[in-house]
Amino acid sequence: MSDIEFKGQTVFVAGGSSGINLGIARAFARAGAKVAIASRSQERVDGAVAELKSYGGPVLGFSADVRDPLAIAQALQQTHMAWGDIDVLISGAAGNFVAPALGMSANGFRTVVDIDLNGTFHVLRAAHEFLRKPGASIINISAPQAVNPTMFQSHVCAAKAGIDMLTRVLAMEWGPDGVRVNGIAPGPIADTEGIRRLAPTPEDIARMTSSIPLGRMGTTEEIADMAMFLSSTRAQYVTGAVIPVDGGSALSGGRNLGGALNN
Ligand code: NAP
Ligand code: COA
């Protein structure tokens, strides 16, 4: 997306200190944006801020938990005070672990729903007053679990499905303000914490990869490209869309039934 520029624009990435979200922050920083990130770990935030500053623009980092509406509101307010209206808001903070529903306490289920779904509501709700109106682009990071029922992922399936509905409802409520709200549903993205948790062995990775029509995992850069496209004027009539960037994984529900061919 080197032909799309975000020079001088303000970008806020919730959960932006690692993985896919940091990849998005990096792409906007390289395209000339002023980038703010927020996540829980001060150490991770500091590391990401140092990297993002190396691209030349101003960077802000906040230690804030998306489960704490006040902490998130303060980070957004400080970003607004420093740089003015927020042009691009990414909500991507998430937690995951693999466990059957019966192996999960009420707090285990609630923790993931609190981070992913309630956290997304907190981020968007608090950001609205600081967004550029008209013109802002919001992107929620979804996942295949939002539409594919996936065993041992009851918490994530419920939370990400809820996020997709928030995307659609707020696209309707905030469309009249000139604020677009979209989602990106990444497929398996190589070298990320998500994949380390869902496919911890080489065998798991091979099985997962064999179910992807394009035959490989994606990259954080490929997710960032979609985030930049959606936030650019090229997508100015796109809102309420949740776009898979997944090498075609969603077409087969992410399931590889190849083993059944020999029966
Ligand atoms: P990751 O590196 O663990 O990213 C999660 C980020 O969220 C971290 O920066 C983490 O930093 C932050 N975070 C977690 N809990 C938080 C909280 N309560 N408050 C604020 N920040 C919090 O994982 P990833 O694999 O790149 O995933 C990033 C996003 O992509 C997630 O939304 C995930 O569901 C989605 N996704 C990933 C894949 C994949 O293949 N990896 C596929 C589909 C969707 P702190 O620990 O410092 O808080
Ligand atoms: N199986 C079952 N339950 C689990 C679990 C597992 N593998 N891992 C955590 N839990 C439960 C805990 O036991 C606890 O419940 P309890 O109080 O009834 O015992 C609950 O989840 C909360 O755990 P805790 O460690 O206190 O939560 P946290 O807020 O510190 O961390 C997590 C949240 C659990 C999601 C943690 O994995 C995390 O911080 N993840 C962020 C990174 C990530 O997941 N990246 C991938 C994104 S796709």
Write the pLDDT tens digit of every residue in 88-105: 999 999 999 999 999 999
Confidence (pLDDT) at 75: 99
The pLDDT of 77-86, averaged and rounded, is 98
Question: Does residue 4 register a pLDDT over 90?
Answer: no
Q: State whether the beta carbon of 188 lies less than 6 angstroms from ligand 1.
A: yes
Q: State whether the beta carbon of 108 lies less than 6 angstroms from ligand 2.
A: yes
Higher pLDDT, 261 or 138: 138
Query: Would you say how long the chain is, in residues?
Result: 263
The pLDDT of 12-18, averaged and rounded, is 98
Structure tokens at 164: 């997709």
Q: Indicate the domain borders of the chain.
A: 10-252
Distance CA 100, CA 163 (A): 21
Confidence (pLDDT) at 32: 97
Are 196 and 228 spatial neighbours (Cβ–Cβ below 8 Å)?
Answer: no
Write the pLDDT tens digit of every residue in 173-208: 999 999 999 999 999 999 999 999 999 999 999 999
Q: What percent of the chain has pLDDT over 70?
A: 95
Confidence (pLDDT) at 85: 98
Structure tokens at 155: 């918490």
- Residue 246's identity, in one-letter code, is D
Tell me which residue has its CA closest to atom 28 in ligand 2.
111
Write the pLDDT tens digit of every residue in 47-80: 999 999 999 999 999 999 999 999 999 999 999 9
How far, in Å, from the CA of 93 to the mean position of ligand 1?
5
Q: State whether the beta carbon of 122 lies less than 6 angstroms from ligand 1.
A: no
Q: State whether the beta carbon of 195 lies less than 6 angstroms from ligand 2.
A: no
Q: State whether the beta carbon of 107 lies less than 6 angstroms from ligand 2.
A: yes
**Order of all β-strands in the sheet with 10-14:** 59-63, 34-39, 10-14, 88-91, 137-141, 180-186, 242-245
Closest atom, ligand 1, to C-alpha of 44: 47
Which 3 state secondary structure label does DSSP give 131? strand
Q: What pTM, to 2 d.p., does this model score?
A: 0.97
Confidence (pLDDT) at 252: 82
Q: Does domain 10-252 have CATH number 3.40.50.2300?
A: no
- The residues facing 91 across adjacent strands are 14, 140
Q: Which of 12, 20, 147, 209 to mutate to test the pocket of ligand 1 (most atoms within 8 A of CB)?
A: 20
Are 31 and 57 spatial neighbours (Cβ–Cβ below 8 Å)?
Answer: no
Distance CA 159, CA 181 (A): 17
- Residue 213's identity, in one-letter code, is P
Ligand found nearest the CA of 67: 1
The pLDDT of 164-178, averaged and rounded, is 99
Three-state secondary structure readout of 9-42: CEEEEECCCCHHHHHHHHHHHHCCCEEEEEECCH
Tell me which residue has its CA closest to atom 46 in ligand 2.
194
